[in-house]
């Protein structure tokens, strides 16, 4: 609902392609759109507008914001291990975590660092 209210500038209860793009890019110079904007227009048509009516309704917005087939926690955990695992053994040592403390305290996976202050047997 919040995303709809933020992006739906004409207040028709939907997000059309122009509103979707305007949320990411303002073409103030009036020149050609960058390649990434053209790609985002294709993303809107191919993947965001599921029923192909030219706009996203609440259900399509929900699928965009919280896709059912994507595990955010797993993706973030994999990212933290990939970036911090210096010896690439798929295990994090205390040193590897401490060497990358800023990434861990900035991660939603660690509740922005709060979970790191608790005692954990696995550490």
Domain range list for the chain? 3-105
Residue 122 in this model has a pLDDT that exceeds 60: no
Burial class from Cβ neighbours inside 10 Å (0-12, 13-18, 19+) for residue 35 reads: exposed
Tell the CATH topology of 3-105: Recoverin; domain 1 (1.10.238)
Length of the chain: 123
Report how far apart, in Å, the C-alpha atoms of 107 and of each of 76, 79, 81, 84, 112 are. Answer: 8, 10, 12, 13, 5
pLDDT band at 88 (very low <50, low <70, confident <90, very high): very high
Q: Could you report the per-residue pLDDT of 2-42, keeping only the tens digit for each? A: 999 999 999 999 999 999 999 989 877 778 888 999 999 99
Residue 77 in this model has a pLDDT that exceeds 60: yes
Look over the chain and give the mean of its residue pLDDT values, rounded to a whole number.
Answer: 86
Its pTM stands at 0.56
pLDDT band at 113 (very low <50, low <70, confident <90, very high): low
Q: For residues 8 and 51, what is the distance between their CA atoms, to the nearest angstrom?
A: 18
Residue 105 in this model has a pLDDT that exceeds 90: no
């Amino acid at each position: 609902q919040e995303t709809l209210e933020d992006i739906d500038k004409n207040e028709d209860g939907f997000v059309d392609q122009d509103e979707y793009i305007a949320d990411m890019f303002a073409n103030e110079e009036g020149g050609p759109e960058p390649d990434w904007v053209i790609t985002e227009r294709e993303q809107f048509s191919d993947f965001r507008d599921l029923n192909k009516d030219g706009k996203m309704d609440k259900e399509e917005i929900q699928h965009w914001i919280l896709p059912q087939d994507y595990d955010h926690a797993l993706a973030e955990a994999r990212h933290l291990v990939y970036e911090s695992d210096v010896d690439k053994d798929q295990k994090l040592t205390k040193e590897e975590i401490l060497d990358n403390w800023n990434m861990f305290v900035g991660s939603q996976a660690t509740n922005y660092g709060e979970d790191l202050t608790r005692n954990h047997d696995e550490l």
